[in-house]
Structure 1
Amino acid sequence: MASYCCFRKPRTRLPSFTVPRYRLITLHDMLCLILRREGEVVAIEGTGGLGKTWVAKAAFETARNSNRFDTYIWVSLSTSCSVRRCIEKIAIVLSIDIGEELLSSRIRVMIKEHLVRRKFLLVLDNAYFVEENILRILGIPCPREQSLGSKVIVTTRTGRTVSVMDPAILISPQPLTDQASYDLLREKIGRDIDLGLVDNCFGMPLSIILLAGALCDVPEQKSSKLISEAYVALGPKISVFATMIRLVKLCYRRLPSDTARHCFLYCLLFPDDEAIPVKDLIILWKLDGIIQEARHSHQANCYGEEILHVLLKHGLIHFEGDHHIRMHDVIRETVSQLGRDNGYVEQPEKYFDNDIPFEYLLAKFGRRISLMNNTVKEQLRASPSHEFFSTWTLLLRGNRRMRTISEEFFCRLGMLRVLDLSFTAIRILPQSISGLYYLRLLLLVGCEYLEEIQHIGSLGMLEALSASGCGSLKRVECGSFDRMRLLEILDLSGTSIECLPSLAACMALNQLALQDCAFLKSEQTMETDHKSYDTEFIRFPYGVSKTGAVSNLQIGTNLVCGSLKM
């Protein structure tokens, strides 16, 4: 089934609709076709940058806004995303507790039990499946057999994925016309532009967005020179991907500073099947030394948001939701070598094996190691040796099976600045972490089995510590903050913490988050002014009232804010 993708959202209510085979249709008609009442699988196939994900999102949001289904599931995939990872992602969206040891077969059964009696809409975006009967492997009830009107929408570049999905409807978005291409370019730039520029864009929306990004913010007196450069970048009309590669490189060169270029390449450290949290990204930019112009967290936030705006305007990243950004997979593929040349390498799942000594990765991949959402199992260890490594950044977020870290592991990583152990199953921090004297950022977000934070008292360079969402965390070792004169951010929200050590030494502390800390000790008092009120006051550790630097204090719950007693 072919369709014309016009990149305009429908404004009218969608009627029921039937389309004969091989008919060229509008986006409005395409949405009607995708969301018709029959339970079925719909495949959207086409080359990268053609707008497949945009079409799927339009259908997803239209369905959700009109309340057509009971359950909505959006799962982003990639070439390196395994079937196991896909199953886990579906389970997480459905709020199914997958624990740390459940087999894929058991998770699959739980998914099926959850969906079998529900009318659901599942989108599998950017899929590369090769397995026959893939829906059964994922635990997804067949929409046709279920007979409730459920839908599965899959976007893909490959015919093999289309084959194993066995769709009832196959949609192939078509390139934009020359006029539609020019209209999109003019809309993105905000002014009239040379019509000939769109000739070599092949009608690809991503190419036009990148071209607009390269031409943005150009003074009128310099526009002719840049347009000439754009013509050179577009080059001869050889292939879609050759044009995209040249446009991505032009946009990269057009970034206003080396800092902006490094911030862009830093995004490669994040998994390609996950959106990137803006808040975490800006903190990493600052504390990993990318944003050196900012002296404190507030300046870093402002400067980081400016860089994000520049990257968005140049078309190199795009927003996904309100607080996350993503790099298009075609752009990612284009700049991956450039990232490796500059030390920004995300390690796909296939690279790591527990039988390979971890120091092999440290030696091969240099200063920044990213193994987010990977296959690190049970104990993270390194072979005994006197060799030291100059690694600055170690990102282990999302390794949910990693329970322990060997006591000697950090002894050879004395130059580490950034350590992310978020969403792992660690229960304790090894004593060797006390030797990370240059550590600036420690992330322990969502470590649900962590009960106590220990051995951090010697980390005098630490500027940010976040253990939010560690539901089992009850205690921070006494004296942990006595040397942390540079600590700016302390986030213990959503923990079971009962009391805090002294913060008197933390003269730079300006953000303290203690939201949803149900066990944090409080004092009750009575205030009488014609009426009696029972008021609970949080008992803060010594030092919060002495520094006078805390400008952002978050306490209580999301519904009721706590009272502050100094």
Structure 2
Amino acid sequence: MAYVAVVSLVGTLKQLVQLKPHWISDDTRKMVDSLLESLEYFRDFLENTSQRRREYSAKVKELEREIRSAVSEAEDVIELQIYKIKEVEKGKAREALCEALSPLVEKIDVMKRKVMGGSFVTNEDLQTGELLLPGHSSRHVAKLNPETVVVGLEDDLMRIITRLKGSMSSREVIPILGMGGIGKTTLAKMTYDDPEIRDRFDMHIWVTVSQEYHTRELLLGVLSCVSNDQIKQETDDDDDKLMDRIFKKLKGRRYLVVMDDIWSNDVWDLMSRTFPDDDNGSRIVLTSRIRGVAMHADPDSPPHEVSLLNADDSWKLLHEKVFGEQQVCPDELEDIGKQVAQRCQGLPLALLVVAGHLSKIERTPESWKDVAKSVSKVVVNESDNCLGVLAMSYNYLPNHLKPCFLYMGVFPEDSDVDIDRLINLWVSEGFLWEELVGRDCLEDLVSRNLIMVRNRRFNGEWKTCGVHDLVRDLILREAEKEKFLQVTKDPSAKMIHVRRYSFHSSIYQDDCLRSSSSDHLTRTLHFFRSLGSKQVPLLECFKLLRVLAVVQYGFEKFPLAITKLLHLRYLQLGYCDDPHCSLSELYNLQIFVVRSLGRNPPTIHKTIWRMKHLRHLQVSHSIFLPKIPSKKLQNLEGLSCLSMSSCTFELFSAIPNLKTLTLHGRQKDCQGEKMSEHLNNLSCLKRLEQLKIRCNGLYLFPIPCKYNLPASLKRLTLSYTFLPWEDMANIVKLPKLEVLKIKNYGFYGDVWRLNDGEIFNQLKFLLIRRNDLMQWKAGSVNFPMLQRLVLRTCIYLQEIPKDFGEIYTLESIELYNCRRTAANSVNEIEEEQESMGNDCLNVLIDDCSRGADHAS
């Protein structure tokens, strides 16, 4: 983790210069610049060794450890000094900081000279083959690959065969993608051995690439497939001559090539030149865990993604491997066996290992129940190589992605992790410096099949993510080995000295926290269960803490000990009362998430306007935010829940870069002119993209209003606002609106009538849930870009506008708990489209049995 240590210290130094310029003397500035120059050199060195692993010796590992140690120690000293400066006279701050930096600069310079003078590949290394290679070779763990597994791959096999037999005459590349152990090689082998496919092609070539490929071995392997002559390893031909021989052998022939287990673009660029494109229907199948490699091979050829097995196929595979195809599973074991299969989470590799274990133990309910309780542990204990298969993906990660991936270990097993929260944590930890970069990192990890997207928004945008249990086991193993993170479910467990701790059990004893804070290393504490009130004062000991998350249970009173943690960037509290005014002492804080205990709207103290780095403020109850003249929070991007009474022009002018906002209104703030005034004040938020408004749920007599919402809005949610349908004229004007959710009487009235001039030009998703709407007078002209329409508990609505079927972009209509006549109208739309040959409209109708009498 040398790379992340370097990035973190760079950020700390730059933030020091920006935040506290009055602490920086000329001598101090020279030393900071010297440190930044050395750190930039370290970063370039680490990126280079990461990208060109095959060229460097194992000695680089030791050098990386030394860099991490030196840089981490430097950051500890600097941050501890910053913490102490608050306790000394301001006049001595410059002197104290300068004295602290001087020995650090000298130590880092020594480390830099050592790196610059290093030789990373020796003759001895080349002779012994002791190269720093990225993980196990696939060949070493191939015995665990599910090569004989057919269950669940039948449909995949047919799709691949269809593509191989396609009419396209030009050479086509067919990538097969999926996580390690999911059956990519199995699918490729089944395709390769299919008799019909064998007959279709003149030449058949199988080459296993893996991470540790050697170009000469690959070329000789291909040549042995295309030549009848005996190929000898000691041939005098160089690589270019070997490539030329292969090219000539394949010229004019229809060939099938399988390139199994590809990890890099370089090997594709090299090998693909040896395969001629004679416009005769030749095909190249490649298997990889990395989407980028597949897209590089052929951007126009969609990859075939192998999915995890469903529950039925998982049980079928487990049953087949334990009992064979002929023997029947005893009745008393079947339900338990299905539980075991389900807990393998659809990964064939895990199912095979567990099946092997079940085959060796007694076939009794008690024995199988023990396995069901600890499937993941069984897999790891049965085969170290099982994690080795997955570790290949981790070891191949670029340096900047490794900490982001290992951080998934913080969350409890089977967690659906909110993606926005995850990226904010990455930023707060110092792994990266902005959220947009975090999105790129997440996309890269998903494309490598290490992180799985769990939930998506209507447009496919990712909402939550997670990891397979086996991948999580790998994370915990590597995180502890790297001293990156310790996760504990037992508060009495022995603590190791790491920078991050995640506690998945309640903490009521002092020993656990005292041992964690003893050496000032700790930067992160996650408590997913309760933290005892007697333990709260101990938090003050974690002087260098950056992330503190007390997720489920909190405190009746705001813990003042927290306000001593000057380096906090991320603070999440389960429950507490009004945040104390001294919260502003946390001048580094970027994210503040808290649930309020009080019935009355909590007040955020006016000192919050000192917190210049605050990016997200999330409070579960509505809050009153006082405005201080001339003060601004330029970095604030997310705010919830803000009381409607705080919606003044002065306030919004002071948070000009807000992107997401949730408002909560009381009855007196959500009526007529008052509502109009509050909403009009939003117009100065030129960058606002997402707005949610929720009133208190009491019936309000709808009064038409005129107001202007920010033209930048893309997503709008209204709940219990009881706006009249005539007010939709204010919404339809929004030029960028893509998502509109009308929940729980967001609009009120029995008729929604749209004229031809009222057009939602960019609206793609429309949700209407629980209101009194009876008639909807609209047409396709009003929603030209609509993709998805969802109606929930609209029990009075008679029908859906008939010509919605003419919206050519419409992909789905969903009705839940609606009137039967409305469901019938949707069925008529679907039938009409099918009669016209249009089968792209998906209709989902659930619990729509309400008749006229019932609805009324």
Q: TM-score range with shorter-chain normalisation? A: 0.3 to 0.5
Larger Rg: 2
- TM-score, normalised on structure 2? 0.25
Would you tell me which structure has more helix in proportion to its own residues? Answer: 2
Which one scores higher on RCO, CA 8 angstroms, separation ≥ 6? 1
What TM-score results when the alignment is normalised by the length of structure 1?
A: 0.36
